[in-house]
Amino acid sequence: MGKRRWGRFAEVRIRATGGDLMNVPTRLNRRSLLIGTAASAALAGFAPLRAQEAPTPAPVPPPSPPVDRWQALARITDGGLLRPSDAGFASEALPNNLRFRHVRPEGIVRCRTPQMVGEVLSWCQDYEVPFAVRGGGHSYAGFSTTHGLLIDMAAMNAIAYDPATGRAKVGAGAINQPIYDALRQSGRMMTHGRCPTVGVAGFVLGGGIGFNMRRLGLASDMLVGAEIVTADGRVRTLSATEEPDLFWATRGGGGGNFGVSTSFTFDTVPADRQVTAFRIVWRQNTRKVAGALFAALDDAPVTLGTRISLAGVTPTLHAGGRQVAITLLGQFAGDREAFEKLLQPVMAVAAPEFADIREMPYWEAQNFLMEPGAPAWYRERSAFLDTAPSETFLEKAFHHLVRWPGTGAHGDLFFFQTGGRINEVAPAASAFVHRGSRWLAVAGVSWSEHDTVRPEIVRAAKKWQDEIYHDVVQAGGHGAFINFPDASLAEWRARYYGANLPRLAAIKATVDPGNLFNFPQAI
């Protein structure tokens, strides 16, 4: 009998009835070799074995019980798995946006190394378990929550500063407050946010805005290296020279699209010895104050970083004489006298009701400007403006603001001042495409727990928000900020990524061909 190797099998050629040859693939093992020997003996003319002399077949062992998938994950993560019955699970599962607090995972895994991340991703694929990745849990649209497995990066939070290069390496599970502390100790700064519990990964992957962005650029513009685990389990090092396409996508392409980021390396600069930090509130003649304020700030140097908030007021309170309140918050890399000179045209319109203006060391100023960011119910809608709000737009905005239907919290229209160094970078130089704006407008609403049992209140607030957001778009608002994901956006891919979308989609297809990293607004 002739046979030839075929991988792990042999192709055994025997004659079928009629004399034709049949090819029968059979696994090479001891039993098949014994059968083959008996067949050869029969074909050679020897008498076949009598039935009673035939070897007794070995008993077939019972099938092994199926391995419980959660037990398998517990072994992979070596104590890093939390299940719903475990102490601390409920608090770990709770997102910052309480709109999504009902979305509870089946398990939470605390990854400690990039290799563990890769093994967990393999487990998710093997058992077809959906997952979400969480750094700080502040996703406005609930993308850091899941009914499957929550991959919690909080344990990967190491921060190291290299004085030789002026660079800081930050674990992707770090949140803002420890980063602030490390930079303060090193006497350095970068573009950063104000909320101490926001995760660095979600912040920088979408661009990252803050009061330093006009003079230093976005946080993603300061990114010089990164590490990411892709769908195939590979731990990839990214920079301008290593995997440059994926590095390009990481700088503004949004979190959760291409893999699980595990670390970031940033350029930093020496922290200012002194800045002027301010919080100023106007409540009189605010319609004219708003026009003067935008005009004054739009011409200000890039050393000024601001946020202007126009607060909604219920019609009953407005009828009693209450006006839309304007709050100016920010910092100026200069002295108090120079800052107050910038505001002289605004002060000539109306004196503020409240003004706290302080010259302070840089990191003390950040404590002054900090926003706690406690868990709450909220929704935000954003668009970029290439010019300061016009008088016509402000008239429409104030019309809406004095018709705020009211909740147990607040509704407002606020503006982050952009431009400066942000716009010196070409739109195609990184994934962040919005390089021509002067302001980022955001219509925001929030509500209380008491409001959640009265859905008509929440519906009215969202309707008000949609109307004022419509006017923002009509006034030239375009695009949307991926760090403020908006589940109600139409054509969100184009709004977030603009002309950079085709390249992002091509990179996504290369590193995640099976679309493992998938959520309602994934590329």
In SS3 terms, 210-272 reads as CCCHHHHCCCHHHEEEEEEECCCCCEEEECCCCCHHHHHHHCCCCCCCCCEEEEEEEECEECC
312, 324 contact by CB (below 8 A)? yes
Average pLDDT of the residues in 200-207 = 98
pLDDT on residue 23: 34
Question: Cα(241)–Cα(252) distance, rounded to whole angstroms?
Answer: 18
Residue 92's φ and ψ, nearest 5 degrees, are -65, -35
Residue 53, amino acid: E
CA distances from 41 to 1, 24, 45 (A): 11, 19, 7
Q: What is the pLDDT of residues 145-202, one digit of tens each?
A: 999 999 999 999 999 999 999 999 999 999 999 999 999 999 999 999 999 999 999 9
Tokens of 4: 């030839």
For Cα atoms 99, 431, 184, give the angle at the middle one, nearest 5 degrees.
Answer: 70
Question: Cα(178)–Cα(156) distance, rounded to whole angstroms?
Answer: 12
Question: Cα(432)–Cα(207) distance, rounded to whole angstroms?
Answer: 6
- Lowest-confidence segment of 16-20, 88-92, 418-422, 432-436 by average pLDDT: 16-20
Q: For domain 275-494, say whether CATH 3.40.50.2300 is its number.
A: no
Sign of the Cα pseudo-torsion (365, 369, 374, 375, in order): negative
Residue 159's φ and ψ, nearest 5 degrees, are -130, 125
pLDDT on residue 59: 66
The dotted CATH code for 69-152 is 3.30.43.10
pLDDT on residue 65: 55
Give residue limits of the domains in the chain: 69-152, 159-271, 275-494
Question: Cα(434)–Cα(498) distance, rounded to whole angstroms?
Answer: 8
pLDDT on residue 40: 39
Would the pLDDT of 386 be above 90? Answer: yes
Would the pLDDT of 484 be above 80? Answer: yes
Q: How many CB atoms lie within 10 A of CB 399?
A: 12
Q: What is the pLDDT of residues 31-69, one digit of tens each?
A: 333 334 333 333 343 334 344 445 556 666 665 556 699
Tokens of 209: 């805005």
Q: What is the pLDDT of residues 63-99, one digit of tens each?
A: 555 669 999 999 999 999 999 999 999 999 999 999 9
pLDDT on residue 55: 56
Q: What is the pLDDT of residues 238-276, one digit of tens each?
A: 999 999 999 999 999 999 999 999 999 999 999 999 999
Question: Cα(273)–Cα(365) distance, rounded to whole angstroms?
Answer: 11
Which residue bears the tokens 């420890």?
178
Residue predicted with more confidence, 6 or 507:
507
Tokens of 154: 């909080």
pLDDT on residue 20: 34
pLDDT on residue 2: 39
Q: What is the pLDDT of residues 486-518, one digit of tens each?
A: 999 999 999 999 999 999 999 999 999 999 999
Return the DSSP state at 376.
B
Which residue bears the tokens 């042999």?
10
E strand or H helix at 304: strand 304-311
pLDDT on residue 6: 34
Residue 479's φ and ψ, nearest 5 degrees, are 65, -170
285, 350 contact by CB (below 8 A)? yes
Would the pLDDT of 17 be above 80? Answer: no
pLDDT on residue 4: 32
Q: For domain 159-271, say whether CATH 3.30.465.10 is its number.
A: yes
Compute the mean pLDDT over every residue in the chain, rounded to the nearest whole number: 90
Residue 383, amino acid: A
Would the pLDDT of 475 be above 90? Answer: yes
**Segments in 44-153 forming alpha helices (H):** 69-77, 89-93, 114-126
pLDDT on residue 63: 59
419, 347 contact by CB (below 8 A)? no
Return the DSSP state at 109.
E
